[in-house]
């Protein structure tokens, strides 16, 4: 007897039967009674208490049939009143106190979901007041539907709720095991506990300084247990970036004079507090009704506690947090490839060494080196030359705010961070010039909520130094003097702030991405430093840039159905140079065109305004058009086809402008009454290969409106001619990129 594994099917028949098609559903497999019952229960859960559902078989030919379900909802019941059946015990008062935030609204339609939401709400409120063992299952909502189309709701604690769930708890000992390992369970929880600011740390391997946990543990000894402090502590520890697993274990304490600090396992389930003794200190930690007795032998559950008027003292909890660290050091290598619409291709390699626990303080040290080449393979008339780039960066990220103000620690689950970085970059264009850039930056990063993040850089210094300019580049400047901005010496002394809201989720119908940035340079230095004989303000012999730059971006992601998404994006940019600067520094100016912008125009060849230099398409000039103002709109429909393949259709529109008149570039200045005439429009189709870890994108675009043509000839739909090779060479733009454009 031999066993053979079934061979993989092939051919169209296999695809139709097994891959694309579905087997027929037999009428005998239908369950009309069960389905009717499910539908009726759904209606009852939503207030249709007198609903009825019937089913019938409808024949269609000799071999086909369908099931028809008819629902008769009748009257929908609304909420007439909500009564909280509580007593004067501590837990009863707590439930009553939360009444104003109730999910049960008088006059609203009855809904089982709203009842579930109310139980969860009360549960969460009690957890914030120390009731660690309380669960939503201990709450009961009774419904009286005998009121002619309305219901009376009665919210109460179940009579059989155990005393452990009715007692508020305070924290006793909080112990951290920052070197916990499943492979060495017992040994990693042994050692000499170190007491630090009220918590204990057991770290026999001395991996971490105690101060690494200074602002991550929000559970405090002798404080009331709060669920929010519990959750923030766990999330803060995991968001430190040095632990791959974090698990907490809470256990009741019978005798507060005993400190059980070592040993334990996160896999052992904590037991309920069955103790009926008072706190060993004998302190009265909660104000209670003085008529209540504290003899818990008279009560074993909620009903007995109320009937016998028994008051419960606070219980005590020990918390043990088991932290499994990542490997301390890692080495990451990235290899990238690029392809541009102007005929250039390139590659880049980046190597980053990371130390996740630098100085044993949970700080992240990153040392990165990168190098890349770019060369032209086709479209020799696109302009430009071969180039290479080299760069290095050293950055340290501390899991806390480092400021002159002590104790600054916002209460959120997200770790506030301070990042200090220094970098150098060399960009060299063959036979033209070298550009050296030095950057020093101090950043503060924090999140208030899951969707809202902030980055504030009070110090952002950039020094750009050109070297080795050649006569070939001088000839380019002769054709376009504005190109001198690209390599002039630049000293940027400023700061910036970015706020981002992003609620994108896979199952969300409407998602939004909103981002705003303010970038200011030279304002404080400009107030302090006087002008020199030439009218410039200098620092260390260098004139520094003075400007204000604002950008705002909004995106809307609309899931139209399974595998269909419509994305719209609006980008606004505004720069205002002043003082030392007549234009924005070249690295801060706005550009348009290319694979993530207006895809029907090659990168940096469009604008500003209606200006166009015919030499931009020849090798005599570098494509580097830039502006102080930017307006851009993109709309893209994305459709999943099969496997990793997606297609898209898109329309892009926008342009850039200058703040001031430039005689060499007529039509480049922004004006409110005419800017709409300078809008470029393009569109096309794309193919996206989405392999999860990488997205390869190919977008083919053509211009619909060209702003530098005469005003009555700017719409060019009538000039589209795919059969003309000269038209295709000039107007058919293929963009190859990694990742989605937005």
Model confidence pLDDT, tens digit, residues 572-620: 999 998 888 888 888 889 999 988 999 999 888 898 999 987 766 654 4
Q: Are residues 555 and 599 in the same domain?
A: yes
Q: Given this model, what pLDDT does residue 245 score? A: 92
Assess whether 116 and 262 both reside in one domain: no
The predicted pLDDT at position 274 comes to 41
pLDDT on residue 313 = 81
Q: What is the pLDDT of residue 268?
A: 61
Q: What is the pLDDT of residue 111?
A: 94
Q: Is residue 396 part of a domain?
A: yes
The CATH number for 733's domain is 2.40.160.50
Phi-psi region of 588 (alpha: psi -120 to 50; beta: other; left: phi over 0): alpha
Do 310 and 458 share a domain, yes or no? no
Output the pLDDT for position 289: 38
Same-domain pairing of 50 and 148: no
Whether 221 maps to a domain, the answer reads: yes
- pLDDT confidence bin for 483, thresholds 50/70/90: low
Residue 219's domain comprises: 166-280+287-325
Once rounded to an integer, what is the mean pLDDT over residues 331-354?
Answer: 80
Rounded mean pLDDT of 200-228?
Answer: 92
Residue 8: pLDDT band by 50, 70, 90 thresholds?
Answer: low
Residue 320 and residue 178 share a domain: yes
Is the confidence at residue 339, as pLDDT, over 80? no
On the question of pLDDT at 90 being above 80, the answer is yes
Residue 65: what pLDDT? Answer: 87
- The predicted-structure confidence for 104-125, as pLDDT tens digits, reads as follows 999 999 999 999 999 999 999 9
| Percentage of the residues of the chain whose pLDDT score is greater than 90 | 55
Whether residue 536 is contained in a domain is answered as no
What pLDDT shows up at residue 277?
35
Say yes or no to pLDDT of 287 above 50: no
Query: Which of the residue ranges 9-18, 33-42, 69-78 would you say has the lowest mean pLDDT?
Result: 9-18
Tell me the range of 47-61, 119-133, 682-696 where mean pLDDT is highest. 119-133
- Residues 456, 340 share a domain: yes
Which among 213-217, 647-651, 670-674 has the top mean pLDDT?
647-651
The pLDDT confidence band at residue 288, using thresholds 50, 70 and 90, is very low
Closest CA to 341 of 613, 588, 623: 623
**Given this model, what pLDDT does residue 582 score?**
80
Residue 382's pLDDT is: 47
Give the whole-angstrom CA distance, residue 513 versus residue 655: 22
Most confident range (mean pLDDT) of 285-299, 407-421, 708-722 is 708-722
The tokens for 211 are 């101060």
| Residues 124 and 257 reside in one and the same domain | no
Do 692 and 566 lie in one domain? The reply is: yes
**Residue 412, in any domain of the structure:** yes
Beta carbons within 8 Å of 397's beta carbon, 6+ residues apart: 363, 364, 366, 417, 418, 419
238 and 371 housed in the same domain: no
Give me the CATH number covering residue 92: 3.10.20.310
CA distance 716 to 713: 7
pLDDT value, residue 3: 47
Domain boundary, last residue among 136, 158, 180: 158
Cα–Cα distance measured from residue 55 to residue 58, given in angstroms and rounded to the nearest whole number: 10
pLDDT surpassing 90 at residue 173: yes
Final residue in a domain of this structure, among 158, 191, 213: 158
Lowest mean pLDDT among 41-45, 296-300, 371-375: 296-300
pLDDT tier at 378, thresholds 50, 70, 90: low
Task: Give the whole-number percent of the chain exceeding pLDDT 70.
Answer: 88
CB 256 within 8 A of CB 172: yes
| pLDDT value of residue 398 | 95
Average pLDDT, rounded, for the chain: 86
Secondary-structure percent of the chain, ordered helix, strand, coil, rounded to 5? 20, 40, 40
| 136 plus 41 within the same structural domain | no
Instruction: Evaluate if residue 235 carries a pLDDT over 70.
Output: yes
Q: For the chain, what is the domain count?
A: 5
555 in the same domain as 510:
yes
pLDDT of 290 reads 37
Q: Give phi and psi for 91, each to the nearest 5.
A: -70, -35
Q: Are residues 141 and 209 in the same domain?
A: no
Which pLDDT band holds residue 510 (cuts at 50, 70, 90)?
Answer: very high
**Cα–Cα distances in Å, from 413 out to 177, 361, 408, 718?**
20, 19, 15, 58
Q: Which residue has the tokens 């405090």?
A: 220
Q: Is residue 50 part of a domain?
A: yes
Q: Indicate whether 600 belongs to any domain.
A: yes
With cut-offs at 50, 70 and 90, classify the pLDDT of residue 486: low
> pLDDT per residue over 386-412, tens digit each?
788 999 999 999 999 998 877 677 888
Q: How large is the average pLDDT for residues 4-9? A: 52
The contacts of residue 236 (CB under 8 Å, 6+ apart) are 215, 216, 217, 218, 413, 414, 415
Q: Which of 301, 325, 349 is the last residue before a domain boundary?
A: 325
Residues 719-732 pLDDT 10s? 999 989 989 988 99
Confidence (pLDDT) at 403: 86
| Measured CA distances, 461 to 120, 490, 517, 659 (Å) | 50, 10, 17, 24
Asked whether residue 735 is domain-assigned, the answer is: yes
Q: What angle (nearest 5°) sits at the alpha carbon of residue 332, between those of residues 326 and 337?
A: 145
Do 568 and 634 form a contact (C-beta atoms < 8 A)?
Answer: yes
Residue 310: what pLDDT? 77
Mean predicted confidence (pLDDT) in 182-204: 86
- Angle at which helix 112-127 crosses helix 90-97, to 10 degrees, equals 120
Question: Is residue 624 a part of any domain in this protein?
Answer: yes
């Amino acid at each position: 007897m031999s066993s053979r594994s079934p061979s993989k099917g092939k051919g169209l028949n296999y695809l139709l039967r097994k891959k694309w098609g579905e087997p027929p559903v037999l009428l005998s497999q239908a369950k009309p009674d069960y389905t009717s019952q499910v539908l009726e229960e759904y209606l009852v859960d939503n207030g249709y208490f007198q609903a009825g559902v019937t089913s019938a078989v409808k024949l269609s030919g000799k071999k086909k049939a369908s099931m028809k379900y008819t629902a008769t909802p009748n009257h929908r019941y609304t909420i007439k009143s909500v009564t909280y059946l509580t007593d004067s015990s501590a837990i009863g008062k707590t439930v009553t106190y939360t009444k104003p935030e109730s999910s049960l609204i008088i006059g609203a339609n009855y809904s089982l979901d709203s009842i579930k939401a109310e139980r969860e709400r009360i549960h969460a409120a009690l957890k914030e007041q120390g009731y660690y063992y309380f669960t939503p299952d201990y709450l009961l909502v009774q419904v009286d539907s005998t009121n002619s189309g309305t219901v009376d709701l009665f919210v109460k604690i179940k009579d059989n709720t155990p005393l452990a769930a009715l007692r508020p708890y305070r924290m006793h000992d909080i112990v951290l095991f920052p070197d916990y390992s499943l492979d060495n369970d017992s040994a990693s929880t042994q050692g000499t506990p170190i007491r630090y600011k009220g918590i204990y740390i057991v770290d026999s391997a001395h991996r971490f300084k105690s101060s690494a946990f200074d602002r991550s543990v929000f559970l405090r000894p002798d404080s009331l247990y709060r669920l929010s402090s519990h959750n923030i502590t766990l999330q803060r520890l995991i968001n430190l970036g040095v632990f791959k697993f974090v698990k907490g274990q809470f256990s009741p304490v019978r005798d507060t004079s005993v400190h059980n600090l070592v040993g334990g396992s996160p896999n052992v389930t904590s037991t309920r507090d069955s103790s009926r003794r008072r706190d060993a200190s004998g302190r009265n930690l909660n104000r209670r009704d003085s008529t209540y007795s504290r003899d818990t032998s008279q009560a074993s559950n909620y009903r007995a506690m109320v009937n016998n008027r028994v008051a419960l003292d606070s219980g005590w909890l020990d918390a043990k947090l088991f932290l499994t660290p990542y490997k301390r050091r890692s080495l990451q290598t990235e290899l990238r490839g690029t392809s541009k619409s102007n005929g250039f291709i390139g590659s880049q390699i980046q190597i980053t060494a990371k130390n996740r626990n630098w100085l044993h303080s949970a700080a992240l040290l990153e040392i990165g080196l990168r190098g890349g080449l770019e060369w032209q393979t086709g479209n020799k008339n696109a302009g430009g030359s071969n180039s290479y780039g080299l760069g290095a960066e050293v950055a340290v990220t501390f899991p806390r705010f480092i400021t002159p103000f002590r104790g600054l620690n916002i209460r959120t689950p997200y770790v506030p961070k301070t990042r200090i970085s220094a970098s150098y970059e060399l960009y060299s264009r063959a036979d033209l010039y070298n550009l050296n850039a030095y950057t020093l930056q101090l950043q503060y990063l924090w999140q208030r909520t899951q969707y809202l993040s902030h980055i504030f850089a009070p110090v952002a210094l950039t020094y750009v130094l050109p070297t080795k300019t050649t006569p070939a580049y001088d000839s380019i400047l002769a054709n376009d003097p504005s190109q001198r901005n690209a390599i002039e010496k630049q000293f940027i002394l400023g700061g910036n702030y970015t706020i981002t809201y992003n609620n994108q989720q896979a199952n969300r119908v409407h998602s939004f991405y909103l981002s705003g940035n303010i970038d200011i340079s030279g304002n404080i230095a400009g107030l302090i430093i006087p002008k020199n004989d030439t009218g410039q303000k200098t620092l260390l012999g260098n004139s520094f840039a003075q400007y204000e730059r604002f950008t705002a971006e909004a995106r809307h992601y609309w899931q139209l159905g399974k595998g269909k998404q419509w994305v719209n994006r609006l980008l606004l940019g505004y720069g205002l140079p002043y003082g030392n600067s007549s234009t924005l520094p070249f690295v801060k100016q706005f550009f348009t065109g290319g694979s993530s912008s207006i895809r029907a125009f090659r990168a940096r060849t469009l604008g500003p305004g209606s200006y166009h230099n015919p030499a931009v398409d020849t090798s005599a000039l570098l494509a580097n058009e830039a502006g102080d103002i930017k307006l851009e709109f993109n709309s893209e429909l994305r459709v999943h086809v099969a496997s990793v393949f997606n297609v898209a259709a898109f329309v892009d529109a926008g342009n850039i402008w200058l703040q001031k008149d430039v005689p060499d570039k007529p039509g480049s200045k922004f004006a409110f009454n005419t800017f709409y005439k300078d809008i470029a429009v393009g569109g096309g189709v794309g193919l996206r290969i989405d392999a999860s870890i990488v997205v390869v994108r190919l977008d083919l675009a053509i211009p619909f409106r060209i702003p530098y043509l005469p005003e009555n000839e700017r719409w060019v739909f009538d000039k589209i001619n795919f059969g003309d090779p000269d038209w295709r060479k000039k107007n058919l733009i293929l963009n190859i990129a990694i990742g989605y454009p937005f």
